[in-house]
Amino acid sequence: MKKLNKITALAFLVITFLSCFEEKESASAVASNSESETTQEHPKLILTAQGVKNIRAQLGSIPIFDKTLEKVKAEVDAEIVAGIEVPIPKDYSGGYTHSRHKQNWFILQKAGVLYQILDDEKYAKYVKDMLMQYEALYKTLPLHPKTRSYARGKLFWQCLNDSNWLVYVSQAYDCIYNYLSEEERNTLETNLFRPFADHISIGSPQFYQRVHNHSTWGNAAVGMIGLVMNDEELIDRALYGIKDLKLDANKKDDDGGFLNKDGKAGFLANIEEPFSPDGYYNEGPYYQRYAMYPFLVFAEGLHNVKPELKIFEYKDGVLLKSINALLNLSDADGDFFPLNDGQKGMSYYNGSLVTAVDISYHYGNQDPGLLSIAKEQNQVLLDDSGLAVALGIKNGKEKPFNKKSINLSDGPKGAQGGVGILRNKDIELVFKYASQGSSHGHYDKLSYSLYENGEEVIQDYGLARFVNIEQKGGGNYLKENKTWAKQTIAHNTVTQNEVSHYGGKYDIGSQHHPELQYYNFDNEDIQVVSAKENNAYPGTEMLRTMALLSDNDFEKPFMLDIMKVTSKKANQYDFPYYYFGQVIQTNFEYKTPETLKPLGPRNGYQHLFVESMANAKNENSKFTWMNNQKFYTLTTLTNNKDELLFTRIGANDPEFNLRRDPGLLLRRKNTKNTIFVSVIETHGSYSPITESAVNSKSNMSELKVVYNSEDYTAIKLTHVNGKVQLFITVNRETSKEKKHNLKIDNKNYEWSGSYYFE
Amino acid sequence: MKKLNKITALAFLVITFLSCFEEKESASAVASNSESETTQEHPKLILTAQGVKNIRAQLGSIPIFDKTLEKVKAEVDAEIVAGIEVPIPKDYSGGYTHSRHKQNWFILQKAGVLYQILDDEKYAKYVKDMLMQYEALYKTLPLHPKTRSYARGKLFWQCLNDSNWLVYVSQAYDCIYNYLSEEERNTLETNLFRPFADHISIGSPQFYQRVHNHSTWGNAAVGMIGLVMNDEELIDRALYGIKDLKLDANKKDDDGGFLNKDGKAGFLANIEEPFSPDGYYNEGPYYQRYAMYPFLVFAEGLHNVKPELKIFEYKDGVLLKSINALLNLSDADGDFFPLNDGQKGMSYYNGSLVTAVDISYHYGNQDPGLLSIAKEQNQVLLDDSGLAVALGIKNGKEKPFNKKSINLSDGPKGAQGGVGILRNKDIELVFKYASQGSSHGHYDKLSYSLYENGEEVIQDYGLARFVNIEQKGGGNYLKENKTWAKQTIAHNTVTQNEVSHYGGKYDIGSQHHPELQYYNFDNEDIQVVSAKENNAYPGTEMLRTMALLSDNDFEKPFMLDIMKVTSKKANQYDFPYYYFGQVIQTNFEYKTPETLKPLGPRNGYQHLFVESMANAKNENSKFTWMNNQKFYTLTTLTNNKDELLFTRIGANDPEFNLRRDPGLLLRRKNTKNTIFVSVIETHGSYSPITESAVNSKSNMSELKVVYNSEDYTAIKLTHVNGKVQLFITVNRETSKEKKHNLKIDNKNYEWSGSYYFE
């Protein structure tokens, strides 16, 4: 009821506000018509002259657009009252000068757009005045005083942020281009924009001349100002990189990524390389979200100014496909799965996703599902695409955006592994068999995370960083990102002999990738994905098959996990489960030590305290835990030499940079070939109000490997009520058509395709 | 919008459902009229013949009542379809037989009520059939096979649960009394109810003959069945205890509480003793909530059957006052503050609070604030009081229930300390200076907890128990409740020489209590409460003054805490802060050890790991942390001998019964008299979506003690912007009228009352 009242109140405000400038709107329409000869060229990036006309004609009758406009206007008006501040650059991220210049770029862009839409000169004047202050400042600036970046900016400590600034400010400049005199434009272009574009490109080739999200920002910045200034040289530099420049192929950036290994550069290469044909971005969704904005606004500008480039059709329309991929890489709450270096909580409510959704709707095929996300975002772009979305919503065209199971290939040609997301009811299983993911990649081949209704059941740690919280290492990557978050043991996959995949070496990791065996989502109740990795540990093959299975004996779909390891020599295998919450019950007896010690000396092991130790005594080890008033049970195959360790993150963490999250680690020593088989059930609930526990126990009685060869692995699942199920996964000939015939315990099983389950 | 649709759908359902038995209603009205001579005596406990008539007349036009009825009907109908199950008793709490008998008592009560309201014999028959099965079973039953209780029941492992059963089942019996033949009634009364009532009273005096929430249930059970059976002897036994019985005054129960120290017993004594005149229940809100149900339903029955007793006026109307106190002992979400043994998450959405709110409204002064809580509870009692509430809501009488600052005295005469709750905007400070709180009390004199908008900022641990989760110690108290949760170091107060208050001895704690110095809530921006404790450590006096202060320099009200300790000898004082979340910044340098060791050997110290150690180097030590995307800063007075230890709960916890929660501990060694002065600010926010940190730093620059004597303590607070404030608390003559005159740094301060702040 409260919500409704708010909405009503807001609607009233919007109406009141909009009726105030209806008159003005028609007046300005006349004005812009009479000026049509001179104005036809600007704006042209995200707004067009025709687009502005359309927007003005609809204002007041497109609720979500009107509301966004009202909010933006209130924000900019407050800034105008507060006055312009253009401080001398000094701080890292999170510090005052950083935040102020960042705030300025947003406000400039917004003020420019307001000038176009509302035709009120105060906005143009505000943009002009601030740009002139930037012009006065910029020409005096040396490199930014903070020295930590591999590519220092001038306004900011890193060129990346300078590029952010220019991507936004180009739009502001475009919006007031016609408002400025030629002399003013000359001043700005000569002293500010051109040298600015040069510094982040030819002045910083180690930043600009790469395939990397940083460079995408750089390319877009140079390209967008180039489009506004009608500077073909800058546009070319944006699209194709700095002409005739070759960088040292062995140099690396701050994050340990190669600066430019294969010589590719420029905006088009940045589309070509990191996106797979399915639209998966190789650094993962968190950085895709970050890169999306420059990809899409520059593309929008190119579409408007250089339609002959057909940028939205480039590489089979991958830019628009990538938006669909990105939306599918989010959980039930819209939060992106934190693959690689991803900060948890980033979601499709981020502003760059407003851009993505609106552009995808407008320049794509008007998917009505996108409108429902736009509605949840509760804002639109104040441009042509935002108008299209607002009209779509107004006309009631939206439908739910149903996320289904999806397999996203990785690699420029889609042949470098991928990410499989299995979905059934409230359960989401994210299986990562992707390639290294550039410098933001983690050493976590064949790892997974598990979600229930947007909550983490088995977590991926994410990154070790407090983005933009100045007190924590200036808001930058913390050293624990390398020593913990990237390491294999921080992930839900196998670590062999306490060494990370590829030896934790980026150079090696970048040469390899897992390979898809098969995926099959044909039956909603039996969703399976299978992949293998042969290079993480030379001489060892890992083949993991993960399934989300439904059965009437279980309250919810459960996860079946089969990790088959084949090695030429005996190894130690560590297999962790990063759960959340409190231990409810185990069927193994553990001992808790008086003092807590780190699990090992390096490769992430130094960050894990051992909270208890156990020797597995049963063929199935079971562990039930409770988190957020729900129960979860792991059932996993063990032998009597296996160890089970409860761990907690936080050892050797001298600045409390890591979360104290728990884990259960299954350790199998001195073993060549082996198989890890687990089921995770989510079940029941606890109410602290009624104090009743419902369905607090597992419904899985036993897991057993009944067949295991190079060709097939078969698992027998016995439910608590005695019912037996058999899951067979095909290890070699995985085509959908292939017929199989297998005898297990004197019974013949015949089926077609890559798995059998009954 | 979703919510609205649901509501509409529900309303439709209700209407459809109700229109189905409108006809029936008038038919039954005739029937009951014609039977009026025989029905006049029953029902008479929570329903009355007249009440039933009123309800039937209103059905279909009282939405919240109709909705509750619909839900209850669906539940009971499903149980009737499933069939009756009365298993042979076997399990502890959480086990099958326990849960089944518990379920039965609820269903019996509901089915009885449905019979009355809907006049459908199937419900009466169901109740009769199940009661007959209980009759057949009960007469064969020995004591319950589980032996852990100090007072074993027959249906359940403890008499407490047998009493729960009878409190509910008496109501069911009352509802179908007239449906049964005299012979059937004789059978039930002779073989089931009378021996049942005897077993929990004269058969279990150690349980029955006490002042304790257990006994309240016992008294109510005996009294209610006595009212139904019209058995004056049972009613007397309920009201006044077992005649002429004296128990050993030194015996204790399972929880270490005295069984019957001063010989008092019976329902009236259970009202007299544990409730203070303000309605505070000495065991705290969690147990008050538990005890409220028998207090109130038996009171309702007494009101209906024995109006001459004027039960709701007893002890100046304390039963109704206690409901108001209880509602005020909840946070912004309605969750009760977990004082003493309280399980977190218990809230006024619990069913017993529906009883409390409805009865309070009906038999009290029809406070419209209660209607808003009833509306949130979204259900009412299906009786006369529920009807009154439903009509109140229907007629739009509800107003918000505004929780304000409140001081609740403890002790039968209100002279044994108390609980002060300071509230301003979203901040709630709970200051506990109450007495021991019976066997569920903790050794936490002058402790506090701090809340922001229902979230814990500085936590009280609560209990160490997973109520009704069978896998965790049968759902009962865990041994860590005694070794950790009750100990002083588990609370936000001073521990001297690593020993708990009163030596952690219940016998000693029960003899003493802190004393109120003053409280003052006159000015919303300056709320203060002050109390002292002289017996927790003989020879040491603790005087704590806590304030919630508002000032324009601060985003939100901040907490000021002055703990003045005066001792005859040198001691070690430990002063913890149980915060939540992640360390953001400190102004002291700490070292983190390679291995984690317990802080001490006993008294709760064995459960704290030391995660880092520091020596305070500044006169003010500062600590900023982040939790749930908000920032918090502690500023606390230190000297250069003070130690600061980051701790984590969980050492010596062999079954993972404790939460791994963090703390910061300020340790002052070898000191006689001292003062701890702290400010806690809640400030700013972090958004992982925009990745921006707002107001992430403290606005308090310095705290300084500028005066400290037996009479006054004065603290100078310097804000970051240079503004200075002075807070003076009066330590001796604390009356509101008293005039004071004090010279500090050559400046005269004159004021009246117990504090000065400017």
pLDDT in tens, B91-120: 988 789 999 999 999 999 999 999 999 999
pLDDT at B52: 96
Tokens representing A245 are 């420049």
Tokens representing A757 are 């389950």
Q: Roughly how many angstroms between the first and final C-alpha of chain B, as a whole number? A: 48
Cα separation, B443 vs A550, whole angstroms: 50
Cα separation, B437 vs A117, whole angstroms: 67
Tokens representing A431 are 């299986």
Instruction: Give the nearest partner residue to B595 out of A595, A654, A662, using CB atoms.
Output: A595
pLDDT in tens, B563-600: 999 999 999 999 999 999 999 999 999 999 999 999 99
Q: Hey, which residues 351-370 in chain A have their CB within 8 Å of chain B?
A: 351
By C-alpha distance, the chain A residue nearest B628 is: A345
Please check the confidence at residue B255 and state whether its pLDDT lies above 80: no
pLDDT at A261: 64
The mean pLDDT of B621-625, rounded to a whole number, is 98
* C-beta separation of A644 from A588 below 8 A: yes
Q: Looking at CA atoms only, how far is residue B451 from chain A in angstroms? A: 19
* CB atoms B596 and A609 under 8 Å: yes
Residue B470 CA: distances (Å) to CA of A412, B92, B94: 54, 8, 5
Classify domain B406-757 by CATH architecture. Answer: Distorted Sandwich (2.70)
pLDDT in tens, A318-359: 999 999 999 999 999 999 999 999 999 999 999 999 999 999
Please check the confidence at residue A12 and state whether its pLDDT lies above 60: no
pLDDT band, residue A538 (cuts 50/70/90): very high
The mean pLDDT of A215-237, rounded to a whole number, is 97
What lies within 8 Å, CB to CB, of B758 at 6+ separation is: B725, B726
Please check the confidence at residue B364 and state whether its pLDDT lies above 90: yes
Q: Is B591 an interface residue toward A (CB < 8 Å)? A: yes
**CA angle A236-A239-A243, nearest 5°?**
55
The mean pLDDT of A561-573, rounded to a whole number, is 98
Cα separation, A532 vs A516, whole angstroms: 7
Q: Is B466 an interface residue toward A (CB < 8 Å)? A: yes
Share of chain A above pLDDT 90, in %: 89
Cα separation, B741 vs B737, whole angstroms: 13
Cα separation, A345 vs A542, whole angstroms: 31
Closest CA to B491 of B599, B611, B603, B576: B576
Q: For the beta carbon of residue B2, count every other beta carbon within 10 angstroms.
A: 6
3-state secondary structure of A398: coil
The mean pLDDT of B487-498, rounded to a whole number, is 98
* CB atoms A598 and B594 under 8 Å: yes
Closest CA to B337 of B280, B381, B384, B385: B280
Q: Looking at CA atoms only, how far is residue A406 from chain B in angstroms? A: 24
Tokens representing A621 are 């080890």
Tokens representing B710 are 């037996």
Please check the confidence at residue B245 and state whether its pLDDT lies above 90: no
3-state secondary structure of B225: helix
* C-beta separation of B335 from B453 below 8 A: no
By C-alpha distance, the chain B residue nearest A612 is: B654
* CB atoms B693 and A654 under 8 Å: no
Q: Is A688 an interface residue toward B (CB < 8 Å)? A: yes
Q: Is B422 an interface residue toward A (CB < 8 Å)? A: no
pLDDT in tens, A710-751: 999 999 999 999 999 999 999 999 999 999 999 999 999 999
Instruction: Give the nearest partner residue to A691 out of B3, B468, B611, using CB atoms.
Output: B468
* CB atoms A693 and B653 under 8 Å: no
**CA angle B105-B110-B114, nearest 5°?**
150
**CA angle B719-B723-B725, nearest 5°?**
85
* C-beta separation of A204 from A235 below 8 A: no
pLDDT at B2: 42
* CB atoms B626 and A591 under 8 Å: no
pLDDT at A259: 66
* CB atoms A584 and B4 under 8 Å: no
**ipTM value:** 0.89
Which residue of A341, A346, A582 is the best one to mutate when testing the B interface, meaning the one whose CB has the most B CBs within 10 A? A582
- Active site residues per annotation of A: 287, 440
Cα B401 to chain center, whole Å?
18
The mean pLDDT of B292-301, rounded to a whole number, is 95
Q: Hey, which residues 603-642 in chain B have their CB within 8 Å of chain A?
A: 609, 611-612, 624, 626, 629
pLDDT at A27: 35
Determine which one of B126, B177, B287, B448 is catalytic: B287
Cα separation, B510 vs B513, whole angstroms: 8
* C-beta separation of A568 from A539 below 8 A: yes
Is B440 designated active site? yes
Q: Is A651 an interface residue toward B (CB < 8 Å)? A: yes
- Say how many CA atoms lie within 13 Å of A587 toward its Cβ: 16
Alpha-helical segments (H) within B365-461: 368-377, 384-394
Output the CA torsion sign for B457, B461, B462, B466. Answer: positive
Cα separation, B146 vs B677, whole angstroms: 51
Residues of B in contact with A587 (CB under 8 A): none
Cα separation, B154 vs B196, whole angstroms: 9
* CB atoms A693 and B94 under 8 Å: yes
Residue A418 CA: distances (Å) to CA of A222, A275, A292, A447, A502: 32, 11, 19, 12, 18
* CB atoms A654 and B591 under 8 Å: yes
| Amino acid at site A610 | V
Q: Is A698 an interface residue toward B (CB < 8 Å)? A: no
Residues of A in contact with B94 (CB under 8 A): 693, 696
pLDDT band, residue A249 (cuts 50/70/90): confident
Question: What phi and psi values does residue B419 have, to the nearest 5 degrees?
Answer: -130, 130
Q: Side by side, which strands form the sheet with A755-757?
A: A700-708, A712-719, A724-730, A755-757
Q: Hey, which residues 193-222 in chain B have their CB within 8 Å of chain A?
A: none
Please check the confidence at residue B25 and state whether its pLDDT lies above 90: no
Closest CA to A457 of A337, A614, A289, A637: A337
pLDDT in tens, A262-281: 778 999 999 998 999 999 99
Cα separation, A477 vs B686, whole angstroms: 17
By C-alpha distance, the chain B residue nearest A93 is: B692
Instruction: Give the nearest partner residue to A595 out of B475, B597, B656, using CB atoms.
Output: B597
pLDDT band, residue B438 (cuts 50/70/90): confident
pLDDT at A257: 67
pLDDT in tens, A571-601: 999 999 999 999 999 999 999 999 999 999 9
Q: Is A583 an interface residue toward B (CB < 8 Å)? A: yes
Instruction: Give the nearest partner residue to A691 out of B467, B646, B687, using CB atoms.
Output: B467
By C-alpha distance, the chain B residue nearest A5 is: B1
Cα B737 to chain center, whole Å?
35
Tokens representing A634 are 């792991």
User: Which run of H or of E encompasses A516?
Assistant: strand A515-523
Q: For the beta carbon of residue A651, count every other beta carbon within 10 angstroms.
A: 25
Cα separation, A575 vs A229, whole angstroms: 57
User: Which run of H or of E encompasses B730?
Assistant: strand B724-730
* CB atoms B609 and A598 under 8 Å: no
For chain B, the farthest-separated pair of C-alpha atoms sits apart, in whole angstroms, at 90
* C-beta separation of B613 from B645 below 8 A: yes
Residues of A in contact with B592 (CB under 8 A): 652-654, 656
pLDDT in tens, B314-332: 999 999 999 999 999 999 9
Tokens representing A625 are 């835990």
pLDDT at A250: 75
pLDDT at B264: 87
Cα A386 to chain center, whole Å?
23
pLDDT at A256: 67
3-state secondary structure of A456: strand
Determine which one of B440, B513, B607, B683 is catalytic: B440
Residue with tokens 């500010």: A192
Q: Is B342 an interface residue toward A (CB < 8 Å)? A: no
* C-beta separation of B297 from B289 below 8 A: no
Find residue B330's DSSP bridge partners. Answer: B336
Instruction: Give the nearest partner residue to A688 out of B345, B646, B651, using CB atoms.
Output: B345
Please check the confidence at residue A173 and state whether its pLDDT lies above 80: yes
pLDDT in tens, B265-279: 999 999 998 999 999
Q: Looking at CA atoms only, how far is residue A375 from chain B in angstroms? A: 12
Q: Is B690 an interface residue toward A (CB < 8 Å)? A: yes
Q: Is B347 an interface residue toward A (CB < 8 Å)? A: yes
* C-beta separation of B757 from B712 below 8 A: no
Residue B328 CA: distances (Å) to CA of B278, B325, B682: 11, 5, 22
Q: Which fold has domain A274-403?
A: Glycosyltransferase (1.50.10)
Q: Is B601 an interface residue toward A (CB < 8 Å)? A: no
How does DSSP assign B581-609, residue by residue?
A: SEEEEESS-EE--SSB-BS-SSTTGGGEE
Structural domain boundaries in chain A: 1-54+62-241, 274-403, 406-757
Q: Looking at CA atoms only, how far is residue A592 from chain B in angstroms? A: 5
By C-alpha distance, the chain A residue nearest B348 is: A689
* C-beta separation of A419 from A432 below 8 A: yes
Q: Is A722 an interface residue toward B (CB < 8 Å)? A: no
Question: What phi and psi values does residue A13 have, to the nearest 5 degrees?
Answer: -60, -45
CB pairs < 8 Å spanning A and B: 131
Cα separation, B333 vs B335, whole angstroms: 6
Cα separation, A361 vs A323, whole angstroms: 10
Alpha-helical segments (H) within B21-62: 22-34, 36-39, 49-58
Cα separation, B180 vs B186, whole angstroms: 10
Q: Which fold has domain A1-54+62-241?
A: Glycosyltransferase (1.50.10)
Find residue B613's DSSP bridge partners. Answer: B591, B645
* CB atoms A626 and B469 under 8 Å: yes
Cα separation, B185 vs B41, whole angstroms: 15
pLDDT in tens, A628-684: 999 999 999 999 999 999 999 999 999 999 999 999 999 999 999 999 999 999 999
Tokens representing B412 are 């039968």
The mean pLDDT of A614-639, rounded to a whole number, is 97
pLDDT band, residue A100 (cuts 50/70/90): very high
Please check the confidence at residue B263 and state whether its pLDDT lies above 90: no
pLDDT at B256: 67
* C-beta separation of B430 from B419 below 8 A: yes
Instruction: Give the nearest partner residue to B596 out of A469, A470, A595, using CB atoms.
Output: A595
pLDDT in tens, B712-750: 999 999 999 999 999 999 999 999 999 999 999 999 999
Q: For the beta carbon of residue A398, count every other beta carbon within 10 angstroms.
A: 18
Q: Is B592 an interface residue toward A (CB < 8 Å)? A: yes
Instruction: Give the nearest partner residue to A471 out of B470, B662, B696, using CB atoms.
Output: B696
Which residue of A75, A160, A350, A656 is the best one to mutate when testing the B interface, meaning the one whose CB has the most B CBs within 10 A? A656
Strands (DSSP E) found in B629-697: 630-637, 643-649, 662-671, 674-683, 685-687, 692-694
Question: What phi and psi values does residue A723 have, to the nearest 5 degrees?
Answer: -60, 140
pLDDT at A264: 87
What lies within 8 Å, CB to CB, of A333 at 6+ separation is: A347, A454
Q: Looking at CA atoms only, how far is residue A465 from chain B in angstroms? A: 11
pLDDT band, residue B258 (cuts 50/70/90): low
